Structure 1
Amino acid sequence: MSSLGFRTDLALLADSGSVVEDRGTHLVVRSPENPSYFWGNFLLLAEPPVPGGEKEVVAAFHTEFPQADHVSIGIDVADLTDESRAAFEAAGLTVDVATVLTAQRLDPPREVEADVRALEGEDDWEARARLSQQLYPSTSEQAFMTYARQKNAQERRLVDAGRGQRFGAFVDGALVSTAGVFVTQEGVARFQSVETHPDHRRRGLATAVVHAAGQHALDRLGVHTLVIVADTDGDAIGIYRRLGFADAERQLMMEKRSGEWAGLDG
């Protein structure tokens, strides 16, 4: 697999309880305990389909995941031809080419008015799930919290195995920003789910938690390369570049959301 983004994705998924099945031309990734996790239940193609085969790829997803309220398909290439992109979009998918960034050291952030530390115990992890839910109010609280708690369970398996940690910024005792980082292979660690409450953005908190998590990996986990993925046109990529991350590659991901997940953004 050429993509560093997908390679680190799969390593964390497999080590936290997901199942990866090799179909020859593609991989099927399943998270049986968390079927609403879009990028825990997806197809990963080695290369784009032949022209006209885009609908067959979408049909293959539905065959593998007949109960899913989403379609998630990755391809181990940096981008699509205009014709293939148009065909996937005609099949109802949104095509996203994200940016994978890497760093070997981090520049120090400015000081923030918050307590930045690793998450500890049930209350902290429940607060992390609640923070995520507040960012996506279009999905019902029950459905989203089921997803978020299962996502926590997967990450906590990695924490318990000594593979990494999730850090949070607490303001007046409330968790308002968070970032996780976990070792994927010797010397390499991947960030997961950097999230900040809308009322606390542009205060340096995301920068602080990413720095704290990354420095923990560099200092405590024997890591020499940090990997993070960002929307190419989003605000977060500027935060990561200011910390010292540099663009390394592109990661091609496509998805379609339906049911109560249709309004979920991000």
Structure 2
Amino acid sequence: MDIRSLGFRTDVALLQKAGSVVEDRGTHLVVRTPDNPTYFWGNFILLGAPPVPGGEREVVGAFWTEFPTAAHVAIGIDGTEPPEDLTPWHDAGLTSEVCAVLTTERLVQPLAPAAEVEVRQLTTDDDWERWAMLGRAGYPNVSQGAFLAYATARNDQERRLVEQGLGARFGAFLGDELVSAAAVFCPEPGLARFQTVETAGAHRRQGIGASVVHAAGQHALTDLAARTLVIVADVDGEALGLYRRLGFTETGRQVALELAAPRWS
């Protein structure tokens, strides 16, 4: 199946390079990350096109057939624009998130952050452990052990990409505290994709996240020979404005459909 969405295309390519398994069923892809079963978007179905009207529940059933022990549902629909009416998916029990796919060939220098932070690549085990815990506050109902299992497996995948020379994760440090991070990797020559941009709640809207994204992007353009940078953002989220100020423009949209276990909601 040829993936038209630049967002999903780069996601799937990076997952494969990091060790995930992608099964092409012709009309859809089944993406599996056996080492991290609670990673929603490492274990999902990507449809080549929307189902026939009324087929949404059948697709959800197909997900459970493919992932019978999963505690979540994750379904993507390929294309450059999501379906106009997502109500049938909501009726099937899923929530939807429409995301903008943005690209740029050059970055705008952001204003200096309000705090004096050090922006650099994550290199040590301690750096990566700090990154594993940066998003912990977003999942208050998940046990420490369950969250660390997910975050450590996610780190292992990213570090495999780093070891292949495909990119890096950058962090902003305030003293010894990691307060923001962004990764960028090249799934194919000339094309770089950002992964999981996160800033601690107390340090948002201070220019720190913009500095990290800019540093990662410049690394891709300068050191990885990337010509095009790709980033994906929720159309209703505050990050979209940040990326536009850095020079990104929207080139399409995609939809993510989920059913999360209550503790991961």
Please give the range of the TM-score, normalised by the shorter of the 2 chains. over 0.9
Which of 24, 29, 34 is matched with 1:27 structurally? Answer: 29
| 1:1-266 superposed matches below 5 A | 1-77=3-79, 78-82=81-85, 85-112=86-113, 113-261=116-264, 263=265
Distance apart, 1:260 and its partner CA? 2.1
Q: How big is the shift at 1:134? A: 2.6
Q: Secondary structure at the match of 2:135?
A: helix
| Structure 2: distance between partners of 1:127 and 1:12 | 23
TM superposition shift of 1:221: 0.3
Task: Give the 4+ runs in structure 1 shifted more than 6 A.
Answer: none
Task: Give the counterpart letter for 2:49 in structure 1.
Answer: E
1:163-200, Cα deviation, whole Å (9 max, x unpaired):
00000000021100000000011100000000001111
The superposition leaves residues 202-239 of structure 1 with CA deviations (integer Å, 9 ceiling, x where unpaired) of 11110000000000000000001000000001000111
Deviation at residue 251 of structure 1 after TM alignment: 1.0
Worse-superposed segment, 226-235 or 86-95 = 86-95
Cα distance in structure 2, aligned partners of 1:135 and 1:70: 17
Q: Which amino acid aligns with 1:36?
A: T
TM-score, normalised to structure 1, is 0.96
Where 1:162 maps in the other structure, the secondary structure is: coil
Using the aligned pairs only, state the percent identity. 58
Q: Distance in 1 between matches of 2:63 and 2:168?
A: 32
Cα separation, partners in 2 of 1:204 and 1:81, compared to 1, 3 Å? closer
**What stretches of structure 2 of length at least 5 have no aligned partner?**
none
Is the 8 Å Cα contact of residues 135 and 197 (structure 1) preserved in structure 2? no
With structure 2 as the length reference, what TM-score do the two structures score? 0.96
What is the CA-CA distance between 1:46 and the residue it aligns to? 0.5
The amino acid of 1:245's aligned partner reads F
- Give the total of aligned pairs: 260
Cα shift readout 1:104-132 (whole Å, capped 9, x = no counterpart): 00011122310000001100000000112
Q: Is the 8 A contact 1:135 1:198 kept in 2?
A: no
- Bigger shift: 174-183 or 132-141? 132-141
**Inter-partner Cα distance in structure 2 for 1:81 and 1:180:** 32
- Structure 1 stretch 128-137 or stretch 161-170: which is displaced more? 128-137
Distance 1:45 1:174 in 2: 40
One-letter code of the match for 1:230? A
CA deviation profile, 1:19-43 (whole Å, cap 9, x unmatched): 0001121110000000000000000
Question: In the alignment, is the contact (CA less than 8 A) between 1:169 and 1:175 conserved in 2?
Answer: yes
Where 1:32 maps in the other structure, the secondary structure is: coil
Structure 1: where are the runs of 5+ without partners?
none
